[in-house]
Structure 1
Amino acid sequence: MRKLYLSIMTTLDGFAAGPDGKLDWIMVEDPEMAELMAEQLRGIDAMIFGHTAYRDLAGYWMDGPTEKPVDREHTRLMNSITKLVLSRGEPELHWQPARRIGADLAAEIAELKSAPGKDIAVFAGPETARALASFVDEYRLLVYPVLLGAGRPVFRPAPEALEFLDSREFSASGVVQLRYRPVR
């Protein structure tokens, strides 16, 4: 059975974006983190986005960076992996391959997990992350050494026990990846 994992960037004080939605704090030059991203992309064959993240990322990745070999690999993978767009409406899906999900989310996620293939990643904002929380098999948090003081929180307080899996530090940026599995 395929695993669904949530990969999300957060500040040390738990925000996924600043009060104005800005993400400028995630722009760090760290070759090890670039390799982590490539590893994650190589290990999946589907990504779930909210419709806003899909639209915003499409604008970047469709003609993504190509300066360095790792940039070319990220761009190639981001453009070839299936994008599943969580939406109640009918968003324009110009960044292919893509399809909408959300009509019957529980059934769709169960079908995705039971289908053959690689893992499925959720690369999304906090609202989409919360909508999918009950389906997540693993949390992968990239914690940045930043304190925003306010913004869009990654999680709303809701009790859920988590089992620690591992951590990885990225010395060039000070970012730490923490991996947990829900205890259900």
Structure 2
Amino acid sequence: MRKLKLEVQLSIDGFAAGAEGKTDWMLWHWQPEWNWDKPLQDFHTELQTSSDTVLLGKNMASGDFYRHWQQIAGSKENPQQEFANAIINMKRFMFSRKLKKSPWKDVELLKETSKKRS
């Protein structure tokens, strides 16, 4: 059996984004600079480099998540490059009930195939 690691930022009341979808309240929200201290950077880099698969919801996969990390992975001067390369080199799966195909050629779309359990 494989291990599942969860990395998520939620507000204290359980929201992952503001009312209009903004994530500017998060510790990190896809900004060019990495404003974390070194121990936090190292922790998250180790989390990514020790993983081989990333599971994405439709909103994250359809948004700028993947495009952002592709850009960072190509920048040797960026201190986030190791972190970004880990994400770009992982297998990526996206969950959606509505989409017919993945927005990215190398992100596999997983659809619900069984009926809901009561």
- State the TM-score, normalizing by the size of structure 2: 0.72
Q: How many residues align?
A: 103
1:40-84 superposed Cα distances (whole Å, 9 cap, x missing partner): 111211111012201221221121263334x11012111110110
Which ranges of structure 2 fall in alignment gaps of 5 or more residues? 29-33
Q: Which runs of 4+ in 1 moved over 6 A?
A: none
Q: Does 1:19 align with 2:19?
A: yes
1:88-122 superposed Cα distances (whole Å, 9 cap, x missing partner): 232334263x21112337xxxxxxxxxxxxxxxxx
| Equivalent residue, structure 2, for 1:29 | 35
In structure 1, give the amino acid aligned to 2:8.
I
In structure 2, give the amino acid aligned to 1:15.
F
CA distance in 1, matches of 2:60, 2:105: 12
Structure-to-structure mapping, 1:63-142, within 5 angstroms: 63-64=71-72, 66=75, 67-69=77-79, 71-88=80-97, 89-94=99-104, 96=106, 98-104=107-113
| Equivalent residue, structure 1, for 2:46 | 39
> Which secondary structure does the structure 2 equivalent of 1:40 belong to?
helix
Higher relative contact order (CA 8 A, sep 6+): 1
- State the TM-score, normalizing by the size of structure 1: 0.49
> Which secondary structure does the structure 2 equivalent of 1:94 belong to?
coil
Judging by fraction of residues, say which structure has more strand: 1
Verify the 8 A CA contact 2:10 2:16 in the aligned structure 1.
yes
Verify the 8 A CA contact 2:94 2:102 in the aligned structure 1.
no
Which ranges of structure 1 fall in alignment gaps of 5 or more residues? 106-184
> Which secondary structure does the structure 2 equivalent of 1:16 belong to?
coil
Q: Percent identity?
A: 23
Root-mean-square deviation (Å): 2.2
Verify the 8 A CA contact 1:58 1:95 in the aligned structure 2.
no
